[in-house]
Amino acid sequence: MSETLKITDLHVAIEGKLILRGVNLTINRGEIHALMGPNGSGKSTLGNAIMGHPSYEVTGGAIELNGENVLEWDATGRSRAGIFMAFQRPMAIPGVKMADFLRHATTNVRNPERKEGEELIPMRQFRKELTEKMDQLRMDTEFARRYVNDGFSGGEMKRAEILQLAMLRPKFAILDETDSGLDVDAVKLASESIAEIGGEQMGILIITHHDKLLERNTPDFTHVMLGGKLVETGGVELARELYTDGYDRIRTSYPEAAAAEEAMTEVEAV
C-alpha cells in the first residue's frame, strides 16, 4: 500500500490569530504537489504546522501519516517519522559545524529509535556520503566546516537545505521557496538533485512563485492557497497559468477567500 500524508480540515492559529481556515490535502509517496498562492496566504504556515513548529497552534482538523496521528508528535518525532521541511528562512546556529549537525541529524533520522548519547553513524561512512552529496551539489567541502547557516548567503542557505534533504532522505518533503535566492545554475542543480532524491521515493510539496523547480519536477497536482484555504487544485497547467498571469482570476472566482485574505493583511497593517 502506498504511504500517505493526509491533511484534513486543518485550522492553524498564530498568537491567537487564525491563519489556516480548513486545509485539505493528501500527498502520496511518489507524487509531486506544487503549492502556490500570494504572499501571506498561509503557505509557509501550512509547512510549519506539518513540521510541528510550537508557535503554530492547530486549533482544528487532523494531520495523519499512514493513519497515525502526527499531531501527537513533536518536531523530533515528525522528522524521525520521515517528514522534512526545507525552510524559507533557515535558522543560523553559530558555533555548530554543518558536519556535526548533519551527523547527528542523519543518525537520528536513520535510527528513529536512537536515544541521546548513543553511537552516531561511523565517521568514515558519514564523511564519504557527505562528500559525495556535496560534490553532486557542487558545494565546496570546506562548507561542512562552516557554522550552520551562520553568515551564509541566501543561495548558500538554500543549497544547505537541499544537502540536508539529500542526507536525510525523508518520505515526505516540503520545499518552501527553495528556489528563491538561487542563481540560474544553482536552481538547475537543485532541480536535478530533487528529482534524483525524489523519484518514486518521496512525496514532495513544492512551495514556489517560479517555474524553474517545476520544469524538472513536473507537478502531478497544483494547489492554490488564498486566505488560508486551498481554493483550487489542478495539474501542471494551473501552475503555468499562475506564474504567468498571477492571482486575479483566482481572487475573482473565490470572493470569500479573497475577503479573508484582505482581512488578514488588514490586521497586519494595524
Partner 1 sequence: MATDITEESSLGEINKYDFVTPTTAVFKAEKGINAEIVAQISEMKNEPGWMRDFRLEAFKIFESKPMPKWGGDISLDFQDIYYYLKPTNEQGKTWDDVPQEIKDTFDKLGIPEAEKKYLAGVKAQFESEVVYGSLQEDLGNKGVIFTDTDTAVREHPELLREYFGKIIPSTDNKFAALNSAVWSGGSFIYVPPGVKIDFPLQAYFRINAEQMGQFERTLIIVDEGAEVHYVEGCTAPMYTTESLHSAVVEVMVKKNGRCRYTTIQNWANNIYNLVTKRAMAYENALMEWVDGNLGSHLTMKYPAVYMMEPGARGEILSIAFSSTGQHQDAGAKVVHCAPNTKSRIISKSISKNGGRSSYRGLCKVEDGATGCKSNVVCDALILDSESRSDTYPYIEVEEQDVQIEHEASVSRIGEEQLFYLMSRGLTEAEASSMIVSGFIEPLIKELPMEYAVEMNRLIELQMEGSVG
What is the contact surface with partner 1 in residues (CB under 8 A)?
51-55, 74-76, 78-80, 84-85, 87, 90-91, 93-96, 100-101, 104-105, 107-109, 112, 116-117, 147-148, 164, 168
Choose the one of Mg ion, partner 1, ligand ATP, none that binds residue 45, judging by a C-beta under 5 to 8 angstroms depending on kind: ligand ATP
Query: Which residue stretch of 2-10, 13-21, 165-173, 237-245 sits at the interface with ligand ATP (rule: CB under 6 A)?
Result: 13-21
Q: Under rule CB under 6 A, which residues in 140-199 are in contact with ligand ATP?
A: none
Write the DSSP symbol of residue 239: H
Choose the one of ligand ATP, Mg ion, partner 1, none that binds residue 217, judging by a C-beta under 5 to 8 angstroms depending on kind: none
- Minimum distance of ligand ATP from residue 51's CB (angstroms): 12
Q: Which three cell numbers stand for residue 12?
A: 492553524
Q: Under rule CB under 6 A, which residues in 65-84 are in contact with ligand ATP?
A: none
Neighbours of 218 (CB within 10 A): 12
Are 170 and 202 in contact, with CB atoms under 8 Å apart?
A: yes
Question: Which lies closer to partner 1 via its Cβ, residue 112 or residue 235?
Answer: 112
- The region that residue 11 occupies, defined by phi over 0 for left and psi between -120 and 50 for alpha, beta otherwise, is beta
Q: Show the site string, 26-65: x = touches Mg ion by CB under 5 A, - = not.
A: ------------------x---------------------
- Minimum distance of partner 1 from residue 91's CB (angstroms): 4
Distance, CA of 99 to CA of 201 (rounded, Å): 25
Q: Which of 67, 68, 71, 47 is nearest to 58 (CA)?
A: 71
Task: Name 122's Cβ contacts closer than 8 Å, sequence gap at least 6.
Answer: none
Are 181 and 158 in contact, with CB atoms under 8 Å apart?
A: yes
Task: Name 212's Cβ contacts closer than 8 Å, sequence gap at least 6.
Answer: 179, 184, 187, 188, 191
Distance, CA of 73 to CA of 113 (rounded, Å): 14
Establish if 106 lies at the interface with Mg ion (CB under 5 A): no
Distance, CA of 89 to CA of 257 (rounded, Å): 26
Are 173 and 205 in contact, with CB atoms under 8 Å apart?
A: yes
Question: Which lies closer to ligand ATP via its Cβ, residue 125 or residue 233?
Answer: 233
Establish if 208 lies at the interface with Mg ion (CB under 5 A): no
- Count, residues near ligand ATP per rule CB under 6 A: 15
Choose the one of ligand ATP, Mg ion, partner 1, none that binds residue 268, judging by a C-beta under 5 to 8 angstroms depending on kind: ligand ATP
Question: At residue 105, what is the residue type?
Answer: A
Question: Which lies closer to partner 1 via its Cβ, residue 91 or residue 270?
Answer: 91
Q: Under rule CB under 5 A, which residues in 81-100 are in contact with Mg ion?
A: 88
Chain residues that interact with ligand ATP, rule: CB under 6 A: 14-15, 19, 37, 39-45, 55, 88, 264, 268
